[in-house]
Amino acid sequence: MVRLMFPAMVAGMSMVVLAAPAIAVVPISGLINSGQVVGGGSVSVGTVQDANWFINGTAQPWNSIVNGSFPQPPWLADNSVSRWMTPASNPATSFDPTTAGFYVYSLDFDLTGFQPGTASFSGRFAADNAVASITLNGNTVFQAGPGSFSGWTAFSATSGFVTGTNQLLFTVRNDAGSGNPTGLRVEFSSSSISAVPESATWAMLIAGFGLVGAASRRRRAIAAG
C-alpha cells in the first residue's frame, strides 16, 4: 500500500501529519501463465487452444502436451502452474527441418485505471529451441539469451508500460533439424502496479495543502504582530 503524506501546521504551531487514503498496490491481473485458466490458478487439461495467448498475431496456440511422451521429456514436464504452448495440436509435429523458423507468441493485458509508471513483473520461460527476444510494447525486455527447453530462464520488466492495452511478445527461434518440434512455456512469479488515486484522495491532498498555507500565513501574521 502507498500512503500519501504531507505536513500541516495547526494553531498551536505543533506539527502533525495528515494521511490521504491509501493507494492500492495490486498484482497485474492480465499476466496469465501459458495454459492457465482465466480467473483462476488452475491450468487447462487435455488438448485445447490456449485461451489467453496468440501465436503469429491471429491464431491461438495449443496446450496439448502429454507427460511421459515425446517431447516431454526432454521438455520440462507440465505442472499445475503452467503448460507448454505449441503451433500444432500434436506437440511432436516437426517444423522447419531445413531452415530456422520463428514463432511470435503474444499476451495482451489492460492497465486502464492504473499508473503504468509503477508497474513491474518478473517470471521465467522455457522454449524450444530458444527465445530470440521478449518485448513489451516494442521495448526489449530480453534479447537472445541462451534459453533452454529442459530448464527455466528468468525475465523481468520495470518500465515500458503504457495506459490501456499492453502487449508482451515472445519471439521463439526453432533451429533446423529433423524430428524438430517447437514450443514455449511461460510462468509469471510476481507483478505489481498502483491504482490511479480516486478523486477523494486528490481532494484531501488539496485540502491538506490549503491547511499548510493557512498555517504558514498565520505564523507570519503572529511574527509580524
Classify domain 27-195 at the CATH topology level: Jelly Rolls (2.60.120)
Mean pLDDT over all residues of the chain? Answer: 83
Angle (nearest 5°) at CA 76 between 71 and 80: 115
**Mean pLDDT on 146-160:** 91
- In the chain, where the domains are located: 5-23+198-224, 27-195
Using CB atoms within 10 A of its CB, is residue 90 exposed (0-12), middle (13-18) or buried (19+)? exposed
Q: What is the pTM of this model?
A: 0.79
Angle (nearest 5°) at CA 209 between 203 and 210: 85
**Mean pLDDT on 166-192:** 93
Per residue in 70-119, pLDDT (tens digit) is: 999 999 999 999 999 999 999 999 987 777 799 999 999 999 999 999 99
Edge-to-edge order in the sheet of strand 25-26? 25-26, 183-195, 114-128, 153-157
Q: Is 14 left (phi over 0), alpha (psi -120 to 50) or beta?
A: beta
C-alpha 51/C-alpha 37 separation (Å) is 7
Integer-rounded Cα radius of gyration of the chain: 25
